[in-house]
Amino acid sequence: MALQILEKNGTFEISGDLDTETSHSFIVHFEHLMTTSKEITINIDKIKEIDASGIQALKTLFTISLKNNIILHIIGRGYKDIYADT
């Protein structure tokens, strides 16, 4: 399933699969947003499936945000494997 990113009231809702096929574009999208924003909120409630590449993509975003002094919030219950792997 494709990954969809929708912005609602300043929060980016992620739906679909965050996996090997979608993780690169996910990182690129948010890395671009970090050039114009000082704070980003991502809601992971609608992630259907995530693999190791998807977990790494979230970790990569955190690393990028720390290096650039960007506040990054990842909210929602999301996919259970996110919490099991972090």
Say yes or no to pLDDT of 79 above 80: no
* pLDDT digits 0-9 by tens, 16-70: 999 999 999 999 999 999 999 999 999 999 999 999 999 999 999 999 999 999 9
pLDDT of residue 30: 97
- Per the DSSP assignment, residues forming a β-bridge with 72 are 40
Q: Indicate the domain borders of the chain.
A: 4-85
* pLDDT digits 0-9 by tens, 57-70: 999 999 999 999 99
Q: Is the pTM of this model over 0.75?
A: yes
Residue where the block lists tokens 């999208």: 29
pLDDT of residue 84: 61
The band of 77, judged by pLDDT with boundaries at 50, 70 and 90, is confident
- Per the DSSP assignment, residues forming a β-bridge with 17 are 49
**CA Rg, the chain, in Å?**
12
From the candidate CATH numbers 3.30.750.24, 3.40.1000.10, 3.40.640.10, 3.40.50.150, the one assigned to the domain spanning 4-85 = 3.30.750.24
The band of 4, judged by pLDDT with boundaries at 50, 70 and 90, is very high
